[in-house]
Amino acid sequence: MGFKKFKQFLLDESGATAIEYGLLIALVAMACIAGFRALSGASGGRWDQTSSDLVNAMNP
């Protein structure tokens, strides 16, 4: 009787979809974080330049 329940447990795939969605969401989140980090590094210099331009414009 115990072996039959164990076999049913191994063949049960009802939780697999939730795990797959969780892994997919984690992958998308990692891609977003990597993209944001890449963009922040590229745009950081532009914000520094804009800040310097504003300070120079206010203090002629």
The pLDDT, as a whole number, for residue 26 is: 95
The pLDDT, as a whole number, for residue 31 is: 95
pLDDT per residue, tens digit, the chain (60 aa), is 578 887 887 777 777 777 888 899 999 999 999 988 888 776 777 778 888 888 888 886
Rounded distance between C-alpha atoms, residue 13 and residue 58, angstroms: 66
Structure token digits, residue 58:
């206010």
pTM: 0.51
What values do phi and psi take at 12, rounded to 5? -75, 125
- Classify residue 14 by its DSSP letter: T
Rounded distance between C-alpha atoms, residue 52 and residue 35, angstroms: 26
